Each structure stands twice: as structure tokens, then as C-alpha cells.
């Protein structure tokens, strides 16, 4: 009896306090690990050869492929259509950020034949979906330490990992608040701009296929954030980006009732060397960080329940469709 009570107590602790989930090593449940993500991308590319092009843009520091799935009509051909990027899995422990882009790819392809609205977007744009920018970190988060955030680069002196959302080459190392020069820090920016193979591979690919719009999924905090992130000064297109963010938020709330806060660094914290500032600063393309739920640490923080995967995707779907539509030529 005592034993049963002890087990029940441990079970309660496990579920009641997300901090204990860090010991839940080796099980990713309904979430996709690297191999499962790769399998989904291959499955979709295999089923829809005319609408997809699956490319590896490079290798992670531990040698894993960095996949981008292009979705468009005549996907094997480079067309003069809007290049739109949907990216997830920058930070290792942010598992839900991989699921939303992955489900979105499936949604577009499986509904293309039947859904005229989806078909119009896929025909009119070149949609680049990269669900997992940091595969090494994800595997480490699954198998070793659930709270891991950075890559698995060895920095020397028993220090591992670079924060890929501090390693981009626009205002890299602008100050030591929005990123850290300390290799032991969770926000270590690396030894130089694009010092990491993951960011550098995506940079090169984006330079070859310049974005007109981009969304980078993260979690948590339930927010939609747009540049600038490195400074409180407003970006030249701040008003335009605010309109897009507000409209995305409105469409999300219409599905689930959950409100995603919108704004620039004032609603979050300063970030330099971030992906959105680089995309906007380099291409003048509106770029958004979408911080998925949970909204707060006490609601679960980084650990979004498996039962919330489809709910989270469902509320993001109309926002994503609207986002792509923003960049289509209207006639």
C-alpha cells in the first residue's frame, strides 16, 4: 500500500510540475524525432512528386541532413513566384515548433486537389517548409536532457552548444543583453556571424531563393513578434508588419479563443543575431517569430501536451494561409 501511494505521489509530481519532465528522457511520444521528421518529409515528397521538391541544404554539426520541403506547382522548377519560408525546430526543447510546420506541409499537399483556396496558394507561391533547423539539439533533448536549447557544437572547456537564434549575421553581437559571448550561456551567439553549419546552410539557401516573407516557429509564450528584435527602435515597415501580425492573431483566436499577443521586442525581450532581423534586414521581407503556447511557465512552459498538438496546429492554420495570401499577386 505504501508503495502504491509512493508511486501515485511521484506520478502527481511528474504531471503537476513541468520541471520534472526534464527527466523523461528517451520518449518523444506523438512528437517527431529527427528520423520520424525525415520519414514524413520523404513520404510527402514520394506521394506528391509534382508538388514537392525535398532538398537537404546542408548538414548539422553532428552530420544530420537539414531538410527543406519546397511546395509549389511545378515544384521542380524555379519560378518567379513569392518565396515564403515556414521554419521550426530552431531550439531543441521547443518540440511543438516542429509539429506545426510539418502538419502544414501535409495539410497543403493532402488538400491541394480538393480545396481551391489551398490550390491557389500553392500555385501562386513557392513555399519552403523547414520543420527542423536543429536536429542534433532535438535528439539530445529527447534522449538526454529535455531542457536542452542550443545545438551540440563543442565549444571547448566542457561547454556545448550555440543558440541558433543568436548566430545570424545582422547586428550579430549588437550587445550582450540580446545575446551572450559566454559559451556556457543559453544564448551563446557563437564565435562569429553564421559560424554554425545550420544557420549558414539556411542563409545560403535563402540567398539563392530570396524570401518575400518568413515565419519562424518557437515556443513558448503565445506571441507573434516582428522586427526589430535587437533594438527598441521601430523597423521601417513596423506598421505593415503589425497589421499582418494582428490579422494572424485575430484568425487564431477565432479558432481557439486563445489570444496571441503581437508586437516587437517590447512584448518579449531583446534578441540580436536573430533570424527575423536577418531576413527583414537583408531582404526587407516581413518576418515573424511565432511563439506557440503555452502562454506561461505555470501552464506548462516548453512542455506542450501531446493532446495540444492538433489544437495548436488548427489555430495556426488560418494564420498561415492568410500569411501566404498576403504575398500573392492580386488580380
Residues annotated as part of the active site: 291
Per-residue x/- mask for Zn ion, residues 145 to 184, rule CB under 5 A?
----------------------------------------
Helices (H) then strands (E): counts for the chain: 9, 10
Pairing state of beta strands 261-263 and 223-225? parallel
Q: Which of 91, 152, 223, 230 binds Zn ion (CB under 5 A)?
A: 91
Residue 328: CB minimum distance to Zn ion, A: 29
Instruction: Compute the distance between CA of residue 81 and CA of residue 103 in angstroms, rounded to an integer.
Output: 23
When the beta carbons of 53 and 222 are compared against Zn ion, the nearer one is: 222
Give just the sign of the alpha carbon dihedral 106, 127, 277, 264.
negative
Q: Is the peptide bond before 228 cis (omega within 30 degrees of 0)?
A: yes
Cβ atoms 276, 225 nearer than 8 A: yes
When the beta carbons of 64 and 218 are compared against Zn ion, the nearer one is: 218
Cβ atoms 32, 102 nearer than 8 A: yes
Residue 150: CB minimum distance to Zn ion, A: 10
Residue 94: CB minimum distance to Zn ion, A: 5
The stretch near Zn ion (CB under 5 A) out of 2-10, 86-94, 108-116, 241-249 is 86-94
Burial code (b: 16+ CB inside 10 Å, e: under 16) for 239-257 equals: eebbebbebbbebbeeeee
When the beta carbons of 218 and 230 are compared against Zn ion, the nearer one is: 218
When the beta carbons of 126 and 222 are compared against Zn ion, the nearer one is: 222
When the beta carbons of 153 and 218 are compared against Zn ion, the nearer one is: 218
Count of residues interacting with Zn ion (CB under 5 A): 3
Query: Distance of CA 279 to CAs 92, 274, 289, 295, Å?
Result: 21, 9, 11, 26
Scanning residues 204 to 223, which ones bind Zn ion (CB under 5 A)?
218
Residue 90: CB minimum distance to Zn ion, A: 6
Q: Which helix H or strand E contains 275, and what residues bound it?
A: helix 275-283
* Closest residue to Zn ion using C-beta atoms: 218
Residues that bind Zn ion (CB under 5 A): 91, 94, 218
Amino acid at each position: 500500500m505504501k508503495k502504491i501511494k509512493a508511486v501515485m505521489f511521484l506520478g502527481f509530481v511528474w504531471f503537476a510540475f513541468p520541471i520534472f519532465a526534464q527527466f523523461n528522457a528517451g520518449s518523444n511520444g506523438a512528437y517527431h524525432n529527427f528520423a520520424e521528421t525525415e520519414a514524413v518529409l520523404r513520404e510527402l515528397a514520394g506521394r506528391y512528386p509534382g508538388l514537392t521538391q525535398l532538398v537537404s541544404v546542408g548538414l548539422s554539426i553532428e552530420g544530420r541532413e537539414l531538410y527543406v520541403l519546397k511546395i509549389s506547382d511545378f515544384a521542380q522548377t524555379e519560378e518567379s513566384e513569392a518565396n515564403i519560408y515556414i521554419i521550426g525546430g530552431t531550439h531543441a526543447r521547443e518540440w511543438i515548433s516542429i509539429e506545426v510546420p510539418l502538419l502544414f506541409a501535409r495539410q497543403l499537399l493532402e488538400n491541394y486537389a480538393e480545396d481551391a483556396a489551398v490550390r491557389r496558394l500553392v500555385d501562386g507561391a513557392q513555399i519552403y517548409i523547414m520543420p527542423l533547423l536543429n536536429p542534433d539539439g532535438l535528439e539530445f533533448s529527447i534522449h538526454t536532457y529535455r531542457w536542452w536549447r542550443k545545438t551540440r557544437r563543442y565549444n571547448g572547456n566542457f561547454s556545448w552548444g550555440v543558440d541558433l537564434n543568436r548566430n545570424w549575421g545582422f547586428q550579430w553581437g549588437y550587445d550582450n543583453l540580446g545575446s551572450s559571448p559566454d559559451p556556457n550561456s543559453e544564448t551563446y551567439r557563437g564565435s562569429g556571424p553564421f559560424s554554425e553549419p545550420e544557420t549558414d546552410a539556411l542563409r545560403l539557401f535563402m540567398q539563392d531563393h530570396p524570401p518575400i516573407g518568413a515565419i519562424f516557429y518557437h515556443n513558448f509564450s503565445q506571441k507573434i513578434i516582428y522586427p526589430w528584435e535587437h533594438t527598441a527602435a521601430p523597423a521601417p515597415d513596423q506598421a505593415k508588419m503589425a497589421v499582418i501580425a494582428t490579422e494572424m492573431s485575430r484568425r487564431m483566436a477565432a479558432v481557439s479563443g486563445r489570444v496571441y499577443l503581437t508586437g516587437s521586442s517590447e512584448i518579449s525581450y531583446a534578441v540580436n543575431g536573430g533570424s527575423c532581423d536577418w531576413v527583414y534586414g537583408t531582404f526587407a521581407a516581413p518576418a515573424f517569430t511565432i511563439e506557440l503556447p503555452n502562454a506561461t511557465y505555470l501552464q506548462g512552459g516548453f512542455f506542450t501536451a501531446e493532446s495540444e498538438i492538433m489544437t495548436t496546429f488548427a489555430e495556426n492554420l488560418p494564420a498561415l494561409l492568410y500569411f501566404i495570401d498576403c504575398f500573392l499577386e492580386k488580380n
